[in-house]
Structures are given as structure tokens and as C-alpha cells.
Amino acid sequence: MKITAAIERGAATRPWNFAPGPAMLPAEVLAEIRAELEDYAGTGVSPLELGHRSDAFRALAQRTEESLRELMAIPADYAVLFLHGGATLQFGMVPLNLARQGTAGYLITGQWSAKAYAEAAGIGRAHAVWDGRAEGYLRLPAHAEWHLPRDCSYLHYTVNETIAGVEFHALPETGDLPLVADMTSMILSRPVDVRRHALIYAATQKNLGIAGLTVVILRPELLPEQTAGLPSMLDYRAHMAAASLLNTPPVFAWYVAGKMLDWIRAQGGVAALAARNRRKAQMVYAALDGSGFYCNAVHKSCRSWMNVPFRLHEAALEPLFLREAEAAGLRNLAGHRSAGGLRASLYNAMPEAGAAALAAFLRDFERRHG
């Protein structure tokens, strides 16, 4: 079958993995990990065994931070932290540290920003500046549709909603008010202006490696002078003072993040990946839009490049779609358990050949069942 041939050309014998995260890693990164698994950099120990106080780890951590700063053009006056707890812990840490005075503003554009808002509202004063839930999270608001509270301390937004497939392609306009961004499902997929943000956070299991590590990029002067009463693990200042080594870090996830950053540099950096990601998304949306068989109802101006949710008009065919896709080497295309339907995640590691294989399968399945 034509599709199987495309898969063989693109990725030897491995299926294409469209999982939303933990997500696929580039073949080159997997090969490097395999080669180093028993001896990391001549230390005689595996990266799975590496001590976080060793010289080798210290060098690894320094290089990882330097790579992230270079690839994201992070200004020198920003701090970069490597923490545990996933993006979900940041839902709480952000208001605990930044919303001690005033009201935190939240743009609710999908399930992840709704969770971030709920956490902030349980901690202090939070205001839902706009909420797209009643409209099914199919679009982003125009600037005229939302107003910030007068005592607003920051505006939080989720750049890419992994479940709804809605993405901000331009920053929300807030004037001087600091932005806080959840970049978990789009970090390093295209250039972003870090300087416009007070704080950016992203768990690494989509575009930056494996689960267990969360990157936080922040402007220290925006932290309150006093964070007395916070447990140290929830206090950005304590993590900064300890260079992210307050306790034993997720060493292996940190190592993989370093490998991913090296790989991104070798691909030509974030701008080159952005061009590729755009082409991948266009291939898949074109196959969906060019048919009366599939649908993606997200407003075209805010469609995600990373996560493409879609449905079959005839929903009863979706289980068959998943079975046939799996047999053709296209894995993990089921939608989020809360949303149902189907979803293709096209993170940095997904080659164009993978997106092309999916687009070809979409057309082929429609031809046979449409």
C-alpha cells in the first residue's frame, strides 16, 4: 500500500507516533541516548546513574541552560530554572509567587488555561478575563472582547491549547502589564519574544524531551521581595539561589533536554523548525479541509500548528479509522479522553514525512469509506 511505502521511506521500521505527550523523540536523539546509555562522556556511568553533584552533570546543566538561552534568545537578565512537578505545579507556583498583591488575570481558551485559572483562584484573587468554554474553545478572543482588572498583577495565557488545538499566533496586547505564558505544547516550535513575558513555563515531554522536567524562564525583578511562608520547593527565589539543585533533580530528563536542544540547533534552530512545523500543519489541515468527510471546527486564524484535533462527520467510523491508521503505522491518533474524536500531534520531532504520511492516509481512508 502506498502509505506503508511512505512510512518505510521516512522512518525505517518505526511507526509514526502522533501522541500528545509524552511524545516522539527524533531518531537521532534516540540513537545518541542508546550510544551513551552505558557510559556518559567517559564517566563510566550511565546518564541514568549520573550524580547531580558530579562535574559531568554540572557541565551538562550549564550547557543545557546556555543552549536554551541561545535558541530562545533569552535576555541575560532573565533566570532559567529546571524544576520538577510538571506544568501543573506551575499553575500553583505562579500565583503563589507573583499574585501576592492584586488580581491575576487569566485568558481561558481551553482546558489547560481553565485548570491554571482554577488553581490560581484557589490560592488568591484571580479573574477570568475571557472564557471560551461556552463556545467550545473554538476561537481566541479579539482584543476588544476582554478587559483587565484594574489591580491586575499579570495576564496568564496558554499559548497552545493541546486539547482544543487553539494557538495564539500573536501575543495578547497588555501594554506594560507582564505576561505569563504556559508554553508546554509549543516551546521551541517557533520564535517567541521572551522579553514581553514576566514568566514562561513549559513541561518538557512534548518539544523538549521526556516527562519529569519543567523549564521556567522568569524576570527576577518581578518577584516580590518577600516570599516568607512559602515552602522552598514552591519558591522561585529559593530555586534561583540553589541553581535549580535544591534537591535531587530529574537528571535523565535534564540530559535528554540537552540532547533535544543540540538536535534543534543542528536542524537550523527555531526559525527553521517553525518553517517546517508550518508546512507539516498545512499538509494535515489541507487534507481535512479538502473533504466533506472530516472536520476541524477551530477558527482558521488560531489553529494550532502542534495539535490538530479532528472528527469524522460519521463518528461511528472513528474506531475503524484508528484501527486502520494503526495498521498503516500511524499511532496514537485518538483524541483526548475528555474530548473524544481524533487528534494528531505534530511536535518538533515529527518529520515532514510523518505529516505527509498522515495526510495521504486521511485521503486514502476517505476514498475507501467516504
Q: Which residues are catalytic?
A: 112, 182, 206
C-beta closer to ligand PMP: residue 154 or 365: 154
Least gap, CB of 39 to ligand PMP (angstroms): 30
Q: Which residue is nearest to ligand PMP (CB)?
A: 86
C-alpha cell at 342: 481524533
Minimum distance from CB of 307 to ligand PMP (Å)?
A: 8
Residue 26 CB, shortest distance to ligand PMP, in Å, is: 20
CA–CA dist 192, 368 (Å, integer)? 42
Residue 214 or 362: which CB sits closer to ligand PMP? 214
Q: Grid cell 556511568 — which residue? A: 45
**312 backbone dihedrals φ, ψ, rounded to 5°:** -95, 135
Three-state DSSP class for residue 105: strand
Closest approach of ligand PMP to the CB of residue 112, in Å:
4
Cα–Cα distance for residue pair 201/222, rounded to 1 Å: 15
Taking the least distance from each CB to ligand PMP, the nearer of 43 and 88 is 88
Q: Which is nearer to ligand PMP, 17 or 185 (CB)?
A: 185
Smallest gap from Cβ 86 to ligand PMP, in A, equals 3
Q: Using alpha carbons, select from 306, 309, 335, 332 the residue that is nearest to residue 137.
A: 309
Contacts of 17 (CB under 8 A, 6+ apart): 23, 24, 331, 332
Pairing mode, if any, of strands 79-83 and 214-218?
Answer: antiparallel
Residue whose CB is less far from ligand PMP, 201 or 361: 201
Q: Which residues bind ligand PMP (CB under 6 A)?
A: 21, 86-88, 112, 158, 162, 182, 184-185, 203
Q: Three cell numbers at 247?
A: 534537591
Nearest to 238 by CA among 226, 249, 248, 250: 226
Report the distance separating Cα 52 and Cα 54, nearest Å. 6
Contact 116, 182 (CB under 8 A): yes
Give me 179's grid cell: 505576561
Beta-sheet pairing, 342-345 with 307-312: antiparallel
Task: Compute the Cα dihedral for 85, 269, 180, 147 and give only its sign.
Answer: negative
Select 184 or 244, whichever has its Cβ closest to ligand PMP.
184
What minimum distance in Å lies between the beta carbon of 365 and ligand PMP?
A: 27
- Among 313, 326, 334, 321, smallest CA distance to 362 is for 321
Report in angstroms how near the CB of residue 88 gets to ligand PMP at its nearest: 3
Residue with smaller CB distance to ligand PMP, 88 or 267: 88
Do the beta carbons of residue 37 and residue 47 sit within 8 Å? yes
